[in-house]
Amino acid sequence: MYGTAEWVKMLEGKAVQSMSRRGNCYDNAVIESFFAILKSECFYSRTYHSITELQAEIEEYLVYYNQKRIKLAFKGLSPVQYRAQYLS
């Protein structure tokens, strides 16, 4: 379904376009990795009773993921702290 002409036409009609290059599975690797982490930490062990509840959880998780989560690869800093240090 993802690659069919009908699917592509529907996406184009909604002004949604795939940003990866044709035939390059590595273009999506970073976001696929993020979604795997998001699903394992937020979805597999919880039940949501509404879209609003799910949306609130995702928004809260994004704040945690970008601003509070400590990464050893970033020398114990959160991604936001590391980026700020790098840019200053």
How many residues are recorded in the chain?
A: 88
pLDDT digits (tens, 9 = 90+) for 31-80: 888 989 999 998 888 899 998 999 999 999 999 998 888 888 888 998 89
Question: What does each C-alpha distance from 45 to 26, 58, 69, 71, 78 come to in angstroms?
Answer: 29, 14, 20, 23, 25
Query: pTM, whole model, 2 decimals?
Result: 0.63
pLDDT digits (tens, 9 = 90+) for 78-88: 889 998 998 98
